[in-house]
Structure 1
Amino acid sequence: MRPTRVLDLLANLLVAAGAAWVGTRMAYSTFPPISVFAGASLYPVAVLEGVLGLLIRNRIGDERIGPGPKQLHPITAARAVALAKASAQVGSLAAGVWLGFLIWLLPERSSMHSASSDTPGAVTGLIAAVALVAAALWLEYCCQAPSEPPDEAATS
């Protein structure tokens, strides 16, 4: 399995931002108010993945890999990588949506009270989405298999 490509995440961000900007421009008046809590919904997942990354990194660093107790089972590491890859995609898409929303909101803040009150929730959401992408990439990095030491020449 290959590491997540940052260019793929940037493409997600740009496509989602464009779609969100168009959607917000067309239908903002039908949106419910955006609270800070709505924007903060990705923070717990980001924290969880950051902590999971530290735990996995410590187990790999201590060479506690295997099926026994207090060891990191290889299947668990594979599942963590799958979680990290999925979270990076979701985070980049969410960041794009919040960015597109903000690109529409910021110029409208002076003329619309609702745009001004929705801005803090959108900024919180954008930061939370970026934090999720960072935590996901960190978790993916922490799950890398340790490098094999080079073969030493046989001594006679």
Structure 2
Amino acid sequence: MTATRPRDLVVAFVAAVVVGNLLVRLSYGSLPGFPAPAGATLAVLGIAEAVAGWVLKGRVDRRPGSKPVEPLVAARAVLVAKASALGGALVGGLWTGLLLYTVPRASEVTAAAADTLAGAVGLVSALLLVGGALWLEHCCRAPSDHDDTHRGRGTA
């Protein structure tokens, strides 16, 4: 399994921005208002993944007193991280598409001002999810043979 490439996340983000902005332009008048904490769940998930990464990193690095990580647990964590990074990029792009529409209209339309706050919260939360997911994925990498040799755990 290869590491998530930033290029893939950027492509997904930009595609979601275009689609999201187009959808908002076509249907903004018929959409209900967005509650300000609408995207905050993504921030909670991102923080949870960052904490999980920190815990797993200690186990993967074989710190004293930590239990070794089962390979299947690490594989599942990487799977969750890759899916979360892509999902966060897509949702962040959708929130950005909304912001591109509402920010210029926020001073004139009350609903656009409220939706701008919701879009900003959603975008920041999506970026936290992407960051937490990339950190979790990074923490699940097995120490290389070169690192093991320098730590005294490698084979001669």
The alignment's TM-score, normalised by the length of structure 2, stands at 0.90
Distance in 1 (alpha carbons) for counterparts of 2:137 and 2:7: 16
1:61 aligned onto 2:58: no
Distance in 1 (alpha carbons) for counterparts of 2:124 and 2:92: 8
**Aligned residues: CA RMSD:** 1.7
1:63, distance to aligned residue in structure 2 (A): 5.5
Asked if structure 1 preserves the Cα contact closer than 8 Å seen for 2:56 and 2:139, the reply is yes
User: How many residue pairs get matched?
Assistant: 149
The alignment's TM-score, normalised by the length of structure 1, stands at 0.90
1:33 aligned onto 2:30: no
1:124 aligned onto 2:125: no
Distance in 2 (alpha carbons) for counterparts of 1:36 and 1:61: 40
1:152, distance to aligned residue in structure 2 (A): 7.1
1:70, distance to aligned residue in structure 2 (A): 3.6
Structure 2 counterpart of 1:91, from 64, 69, 88: 88
TM-superposition CA deviations, 1:13-43 (whole Å, max 9, x none):
1000001111101100111111122121211
1:71, distance to aligned residue in structure 2 (A): 3.2
Asked if structure 1 preserves the Cα contact closer than 8 Å seen for 2:59 and 2:68, the reply is yes
Please, which runs of 5 or more residues in structure 2 have no aligned partner?
none
Distance in 2 (alpha carbons) for counterparts of 1:48 and 1:97: 22
Asked if structure 1 preserves the Cα contact closer than 8 Å seen for 2:36 and 2:114, the reply is no
TM-superposition CA deviations, 1:97-136 (whole Å, max 9, x none):
0001000111111221100111111100000001100100
Distance in 2 (alpha carbons) for counterparts of 1:84 and 1:55: 14
Distance in 1 (alpha carbons) for counterparts of 2:22 and 2:127: 21
Asked if structure 1 preserves the Cα contact closer than 8 Å seen for 2:62 and 2:68, the reply is no
Give the letter aligned to residue 78 of structure 1. Answer: A
Distance in 2 (alpha carbons) for counterparts of 1:18 and 1:102: 12
1:106 aligned onto 2:103: yes
Distance in 1 (alpha carbons) for counterparts of 2:68 and 2:118: 41
Identity of aligned residues (%): 38
1:60, distance to aligned residue in structure 2 (A): 1.3
Partner of residue 20, structure 2 = 20
Distance in 2 (alpha carbons) for counterparts of 1:148 and 1:71: 17
Partner of residue 71, structure 1 = 68
1:84, distance to aligned residue in structure 2 (A): 0.3
Query: Map of 1:136-147 to 2, 5 A cutoff?
Result: 136-147=133-144
1:61, distance to aligned residue in structure 2 (A): 1.6
